[in-house]
Amino acid sequence: MDLAKIEELIQIVREANVSELTVRREGSSITIKKGAGASRPGVVRGQEEKASTPQPEEPGATAAEPEAEIAVTAPMVGIFHLVDPALQSGALVKAGQALGAIESMKLMNEIVADASGVVAEVTVEDGSPVEYGQTLFRLTPVETE
């Protein structure tokens, strides 16, 4: 997604009566949050695009670039339920593993991990109402064999 489109999305969020907007396109996504606590206008999800701004390399520099955090977001409005109460920070999850479910209109909709990783944070409590696009889990990517 080019910078002009991202700036257009930021402007839409500023003018609209929403607190967060997530756009998914071609294997990557961007989440734009509005609020006083936001340290940056958007968070890019996935390993294809990095959340940090690329910095020019200095000759001889060998600093490792940090991997982007993966945000698992709510695909709908409803009540969030953890699949396993033991699923807390530090737990290893695999791509496709069920992390939780959202109850909406008396139906349970499974939430699965998009990629393998270590749970960095569970951002909502079991039984809490969630909004579309709200971050449920933050994962630190790991390579699996």
In a domain, 56, yes or no: no
Residue 32, domain member (yes or no): yes
Same domain flag for 89 and 126: yes
54 to 37, 51, 66: CA distances (angstroms): 24, 9, 11
The tally of domains found in the chain comes to 2
**Inside any domain, residue 139:** yes
- pLDDT > 90 fraction of the chain, expressed in percent and rounded: 28
At residue 75 the predicted structure's pLDDT band, cuts being 50, 70 and 90, is very high
- Residue 69, pLDDT > 60, answer yes
Residue 142 lies in a domain: yes
How many Cα atoms occupy the beta-carbon half-sphere of 38 within 13 Å? 13
- Domain assignment present for 57: no
Domain range for 36 is 1-50
Q: pLDDT tier at 133 (50, 70, 90 boundaries)?
A: very high
Checking if the pLDDT of 64 tops 60, the result is no
**144 and 101 in one domain?**
yes
Report pLDDT digits (tens) over 96-111. Answer: 999 999 999 889 999 9
Higher pLDDT, residue 81 or 36? 81
- Whether 137 is in a domain gets the answer yes
